[in-house]
């Protein structure tokens, strides 16, 4: 029975993702161009993030919630997904109920920007559980841990902020303009560092599962990066490829969290003994 319930969570994630994918394909390639459909899709696909977050909270309890590193990591990613969904809903509220162009910054940025510290919280604890503190005892690894994030931060700065024009009357806008690209680099660089530094030390049942979570963070970063580039070039449009990239990232993270559920870990352990 429990096996059916376990597989049900994966099946449901696949069903939600497939349905939304089919809808997006219809809007993009079959149905005549309709901005209402685009906006409706953009307002709806966050349900994937919501589902992933709920799964995460449910599975985190078996890890003792915040009483263990794995529990903290799963809660961090779940809160990140929830924050993304909040951002989606807030943006939709402006479009549908207020009928106005979404202002920047707006309440939706609480969700979008808020997801960054949650992802950082999650990946830091995942890194610790993966044993990177043992790898960091080597000086070469310590150097790697400084150089790689620094390079990524500098790259992000030169891509997005090099020619930034400061308007000191808008301190919140300035904070977000810097906070988005730099904050997103922080979570993805910790994810990359975790992969690089735990590659030799991390094994067992959790190895692949943890690497899938790190991959999910990279997919999320690709969506965030594409958004920033398209917004900078003023070519971003609702319901287009970037929204689909976000849907994909929520799906991958949902699957990654479902894969960490303790019942599967337990059954894998019993298979090995």
Q: Does 134 bind other proteins (CB under 8 A)?
A: yes
- Residue 65 region, left (φ>0) first, then alpha (ψ -120 to 50), else beta? left
Tell me the helices (H) and strands (E) count for the chain, helix number first. 11, 0
Q: Does 257 bind other proteins (CB under 8 A)?
A: no
Identify which of residues 116 and 260 has a Cβ nearer to other proteins in the complex.
Answer: 260
Q: Please choose, out of 32-40, 127-135, 232-240, 248-256, the segment that lies near other proteins by the rule CB under 8 A.
A: 127-135
Identify which of residues 92 and 135 has a Cβ nearer to other proteins in the complex.
Answer: 135
Residue with tokens 């549908």, as numbered in its chain: 96
CB of 92 to other proteins, least distance (A): 37
Q: Which of residues 189-228 bind other proteins (CB under 8 A)?
A: 198, 200-207
Q: Please choose, out of 26-34, 144-152, 231-239, 262-270, the segment that lies near other proteins by the rule CB under 8 A.
A: 262-270
Grouping H, G, I as helix, E, B as strand and the rest as coil, residue 79 is helix
Identify which of residues 103 and 203 has a Cβ nearer to other proteins in the complex.
Answer: 203
> Which tokens go with 18?
């497939």
Given 20, 42, 48, 70, the residue binding other proteins (CB under 8 A): 70
Contact 159, 181 (CB under 8 A): yes
Q: Does 105 bind other proteins (CB under 8 A)?
A: no
Residue with tokens 């919140």, as numbered in its chain: 172
CB of 150 to other proteins, least distance (A): 25
Q: Does 6 bind other proteins (CB under 8 A)?
A: no
Query: How remote is the C-alpha of 187 from its chain's centroid?
Result: 9
Q: Does 63 bind other proteins (CB under 8 A)?
A: yes
What are the start-end ranges of the H helices in the chain? 2-25, 35-44, 47-60, 69-93, 108-129, 132-135, 139-160, 171-198, 206-232, 241-259, 262-272
């Amino acid at each position: 029975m429990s096996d059916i319930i376990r597989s049900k969570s994966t099946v449901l994630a696949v069903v939600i993702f497939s349905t939304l994918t089919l809808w997006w394909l219809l809007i993009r390639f079959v149905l005549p161009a309709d901005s209402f459909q685009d906006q409706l899709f953009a307002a709806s696909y966050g349900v994937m993030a919501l589902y992933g977050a709920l799964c995460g909270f449910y599975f985190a309890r078996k890890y003792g919630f915040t009483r263990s590193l794995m529990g903290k990591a799963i809660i961090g990613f779940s809160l990140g997904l929830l924050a993304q969904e909040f951002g989606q809903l807030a943006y939709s509220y402006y479009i549908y109920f207020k009928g106005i162009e979404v202002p920047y910054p707006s309440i939706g940025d609480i969700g979008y920007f808020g997801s960054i510290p949650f992802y950082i919280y999650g990946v830091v604890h995942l890194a610790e559980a993966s044993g990177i503190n043992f790898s960091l005892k080597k000086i070469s690894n310590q150097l790697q841990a400084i150089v790689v994030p620094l390079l990524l931060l500098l790259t992000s700065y030169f891509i997005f902020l090099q020619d930034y024009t400061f308007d000191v009357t808008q301190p919140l806008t300035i904070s977000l303009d810097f906070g988005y690209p730099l904050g997103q680099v922080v979570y993805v660089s910790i994810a990359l560092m975790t992969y690089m530094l735990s590659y030799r030390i991390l094994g067992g049942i959790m190895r692949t599962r943890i690497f899938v979570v790190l991959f999910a963070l990279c997919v999320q970063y690709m969506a965030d990066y594409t958004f920033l580039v398209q917004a900078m070039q003023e070519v971003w449009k609702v319901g287009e490829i970037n929204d689909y990239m976000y849907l994909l990232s929520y799906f991958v993270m949902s699957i990654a969290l479902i894969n960490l559920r303790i019942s599967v870990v337990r059954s894998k352990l019993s298979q090995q003994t």
